[in-house]
């Protein structure tokens, strides 16, 4: 298939970026979206032009490195997948595809489609962990966990920190990410011990990093490649109030 | 460490509590106003309005209500400005996502409602408090004839159209506001949320329906 691509190009964080139009012919419908960009980049290199910079790593949908807004949707026109799992058969011959980076003050642009998502790492560093003694691994069955809570914690732990929630939210809020991390740890006995400090510190850090405020629109839930639900945001709210009183 | 009044979650809590208080007030307001069309005798409404204007508890409640409106507006403004700052560059292509439609236009419907509220206050509230209205004396008590005031206003077509349009926009604001408040309180699960969403629609239909029925029935009577 032949495609018209409208891609955001920006030299660095200080430069003014702009959309550049490209034509790409004979794209295989079986190729992934990132492979399509690889082909375009090879053409650009052959023409002695600067290739398009974008994040990617595992290309198996589990690392959370890739991410771009395709035709207005983070990770493109499909549900529960990352960009690397998006295939060109989702598009038609002659389509124009608009590709933009994540847009958020907390995710400053580095180059082209690559943004700095270090803000998420800072959130984890702040309190997104459990303190444990080093040594040999404890016996797994020594701390009983109810199946219901184990399932909820596992669902929350599916978050890969790709940032699609922030990208999709009209307020660039990180509440779904923080909600997932707080839920994942707080639902388990090991995480309950530091639950209060964790939620207070993570919310304070989230505000400090310049993310927006949640307005419960559900855009994050709709675009999350791992199906993290809004109930995690409600749990974050509950945990926050509980820690405050 | 931020406090419950300054953190993002705290600010939303304050805004939603004030908003929910206003939701309760809207029901009371509608209930009283329906008296104008339910009873032919304007004195029924005038007596209730007189009680509302003179009772000390209602007067205290009035201050609380003004505080609630101010609190809701101030927190909403702070949150909205922070949200705009959080996304300095917007997407060129509108975000398609499976989100609640009305949630995207909360600030727009809020501004329309605020303009409506200013006009509504000038028309009825301030006029009843400080302006000149017709008065009636019944059993030695002086009443403002607000029922006739309302009927006179709603005999004018532009006024009727403006009120109906304003209430429809307010309804859009309420649909999201009602159910979003519960999420902000931390109440959200797969069984509970559909019930709340249905209640939000019922509540909004009652408020919009009731408040548009009043000018329509007066205009066509």
Residue A126 lies in a domain: yes
Closest chain A residue to B1, measured at CA:
A204
Tell me the mean pLDDT in the region B149-175. Answer: 94
Same domain (yes/no): A93, A176: no
The answer on pLDDT for B114 being more than 90 is yes
> Quick one: average pLDDT of A202-224?
96
Q: Which residue of A has its CA nearest to B2?
A: A204
- pLDDT of residue B139 exceeding 70, the answer is yes
Residue with tokens 């490195």: A65
Nearest to A181 by CA among A108, A139, A122, A99: A122
Q: Are residues A102 and A124 in the same domain?
A: no
Total domains, chain A: 2
Question: Is A223 part of any domain?
Answer: yes
| Greatest mean pLDDT among A132-136, A151-155, B94-98, B119-123 | A151-155
Are residues A171 and B83, on separate chains, in Cβ contact within 8 Å?
yes
Q: What is the mean pLDDT of residues A47-57?
A: 97
Task: Print the domain residue range for A150.
Answer: 117-131+141-244
Residues A243 and A200 sit within 8 Å (Cβ to Cβ): yes
In this structure, the answer to whether residues A106 and A121 fall within a common structural domain is no
State whether B180 and A238 contact (CB < 8 Å). no
- Based on the domain organization, do A75 and A56 belong to the same domain? yes
Report chain B residues whose CB lies below 8 A from the CB of A236.
9
Does residue A156 sit in the same domain as residue A220?
yes
pLDDT over threshold 80, residue B95:
no
- The tokens for B164 are 């109906």
> Which residue of chain B has the CA closest to A245?
B4
Q: Are residues A104 and A151 in the same domain?
A: no
Please state, rounded to an integer, the average pLDDT across all residues of chain A. 96
Question: Quick check: A207 and B7 in contact, CB under 8 A?
Answer: yes
Is it the case that residue B45 has pLDDT exceeding 70? yes
* Residues in CB range of A50: below 8 A, 6 or more apart: A44
pLDDT of residue A192: 95
Query: CA nearest B142: which of B39, B58, B46, B44?
Result: B46
What is the rounded average pLDDT of the residues A201-222?
96
pLDDT for residue A196 is more than 90: yes
State yes or no: pLDDT of A45 exceeds 80: yes
- What integer is the mean pLDDT of A15-42? 97
Any domain includes A98: yes
Nearest alpha carbon to residue B82 among A106, A112, A56, A130 = A106
Mean pLDDT of B3-17: 94
Domains and CATH numbers, chain B: 8-88+100-220 (1.20.1300.10)
Q: What confidence category does residue B149 fall into, taking pLDDT thresholds of 50, 70 and 90?
A: confident
* pLDDT score for B211: 96
Q: Are residues A93 and A125 in the same domain?
A: no
The answer on pLDDT for A36 being more than 90 is yes
pLDDT at B107: 95
For residue A96, the cross-strand partners are A4
Above 70 in pLDDT, residue B56?
yes
Which candidate in A71, A78, A101, A215 is best for mutational testing of the B interface (most B CBs within 10 A)? Answer: A215
The percent of residues above 70 in pLDDT, for chain B, comes to 97
pLDDT of B116 strictly over 90: yes
Closest CA to B138 of B37, B45, B40: B45
Side-chain half-sphere CA neighbours of B211 within 13 A: 23
CATH number at residue A35: 3.10.20.30
Indicate the pLDDT class of residue B136, thresholds 50, 70 and 90. confident
Look at residue B96 and tell me whether its pLDDT is greater than 70.
no
The CA distance from B95 to A219, in Å, is 9
Residues A214, A125 share a domain? yes
Q: Which of B10, B88, B180 sits opposite A215 (nearest CB)?
A: B180
Q: What is the CA radius of gyration of chain A?
A: 20
* ipTM for this prediction: 0.94
The verdict on a CB contact (< 8 Å) between B184 and A173 is no
pLDDT at B97 over 80: no
Q: Is A168–B95 a contact, with Cβ atoms under 8 angstroms apart?
A: yes
If you average pLDDT over residues B54-60, what whole number do you get? 92
Q: How confident is the model at residue B58 (pLDDT cuts 50, 70, 90)?
A: very high
Same domain, A84 and A125: no
Give the whole-angstrom CA distance, residue A28 versus residue A26. Answer: 6
What single-letter DSSP state applies at residue A194? T
CB contact under 8 A, A231 and B4: no
- For range A225-230, the mean pLDDT: 97
Give domain status of residue A166, yes or no. Answer: yes
What average pLDDT score do residues A71-93 get? 96
Q: Are residues A185 and A75 in the same domain?
A: no
**Cβ contacts of A186 on chain B, cutoff 8 Å:** none
Q: Output the domain CATH number for residue A192.
A: 1.10.1060.10
**pLDDT of res. B98:** 63
| Residue A221 falls inside a structural domain | yes
State the pLDDT at residue A133.
Answer: 80
Is residue A90 domain-resident?
A: yes
Nearest to B8 among A201, A213, A218 (CB): A213
Looking at residue B1, its pLDDT comes to 59
- Has residue A136 been placed in a domain? no
Q: Where are the alpha helices (DSSP H) in B87-156?
A: 106-120, 126-129, 146-153
Residue B94's Cβ-side half-sphere holds a number of Cα atoms within 13 Å equal to 5
Query: Do A170 and A99 fall into the same domain?
Result: no
Chain A partners of B178 at a C-beta cutoff of 8 Å? none
Overall average pLDDT of the A77-90 stretch = 96
In a domain, A148, yes or no: yes
Tell me the C-alpha to C-alpha distance, in Å, between residue B105 and each of A10, A108, B109, B171: 31, 27, 6, 12
* Residue A136 CB neighbours (<10 A): 5
> Cβ(B10)–Cβ(B78) under 8 Å?
no
Average pLDDT over all residues of chain B: 91
B185 contacts chain A (CB < 8 A): yes
Q: What percent of chain B is predicted at pLDDT more than 90?
A: 69
Same domain, A96 and A155: no
Tell me if chain B has a CB within 8 Å of the CB of A212: yes
Q: Answer yes or no: is pLDDT of A129 > 70.
A: yes
Could you tell me if B19 and B121 are in contact, meaning their C-beta atoms sit under 8 angstroms apart? no
**CB nearest to B93's CB, from A71, A210, A240:** A71
């Amino acid at each position: 298939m032949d495609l018209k691509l409208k891609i955001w190009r920006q030299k660095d964080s200080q430069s003014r970026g702009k959309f550049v139009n490209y034509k790409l012919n004979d794209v295989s419908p079986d190729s992934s979206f990132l492979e399509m960009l690889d082909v375009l980049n090879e053409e650009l290199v052959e023409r002695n032009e600067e290739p398009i910079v974008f994040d990617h790593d595992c290309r198996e949908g589990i690392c959370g490195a890739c991410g771009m807004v395709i035709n207005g949707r983070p990770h493109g026109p499909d549900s529960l997948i990352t960009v690397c799992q998006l295939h060109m058969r989702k598009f038609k011959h002659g389509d124009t595809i608009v590709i933009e980076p994540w847009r958020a003050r907390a995710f400053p642009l580095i180059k082209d489609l690559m943004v700095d998502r270090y803000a998420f790492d800072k959130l984890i560093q702040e309190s997104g962990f459990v303190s444990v003694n080093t040594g040999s691994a404890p016996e797994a069955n020594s701390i009983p966990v109810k199946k219901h809570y184990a399932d909820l914690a596992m669902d929350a732990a599916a978050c890969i920190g790709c940032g699609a929630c922030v990208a999709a939210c009209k307020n660039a809020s990180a509440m779904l990410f923080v909600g997932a991390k707080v839920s994942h740890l707080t639902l388990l006995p090991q995480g309950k011990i530091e639950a209060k400090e964790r939620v207070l510190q993570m919310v304070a850090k989230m505000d400090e990093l310049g993310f927006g405020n949640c307005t419960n629109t559900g855009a994050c839930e709709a675009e999350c490649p791992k199906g993290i639900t809004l109930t995690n945001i409600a749990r974050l709210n509950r945990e926050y109030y509980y820690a405050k009183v | 460490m931020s406090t419950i009044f300054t953190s993002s979650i705290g600010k939303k809590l304050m805004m939603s509590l004030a908003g929910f208080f206003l939701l309760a007030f809207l029901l009371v307001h509608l209930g009283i106003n329906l008296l104008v069309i339910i009873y032919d005798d304007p004195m029924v409404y005038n007596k209730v309005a007189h009680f509302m204007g003179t009772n000390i508890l209602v007067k205290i409640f009035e201050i609380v209500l003004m505080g609630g409106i101010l609190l809701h507006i101030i927190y909403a403004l702070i949150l909205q400005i922070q949200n705009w700052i959080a996304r300095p560059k917007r997407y060129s292509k509108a975000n398609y996502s499976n989100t609640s439609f009305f949630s995207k236009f909360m600030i727009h419907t809020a501004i329309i409602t605020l303009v409506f509220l200013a006009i509504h206050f000038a028309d009825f509230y301030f006029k009843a408090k400080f302006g000149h209205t017709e008065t009636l004396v019944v059993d030695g008590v002086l009443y403002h004839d607000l029922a006739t005031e309302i009927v006179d206003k709603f005999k004018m077509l532009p006024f009727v159209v403006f009120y109906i349009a304003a209430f429809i926009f307010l309804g859009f604001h309420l649909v999201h506001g009602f159910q979003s408040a519960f999420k902000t309180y931390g109440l959200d699960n797969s069984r509970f949320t559909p019930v709340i969403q249905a209640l939000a629609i019922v509540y909004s239909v009652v408020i919009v329906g009731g408040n548009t029925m009043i000018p329509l029935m007066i205009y066509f009577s």
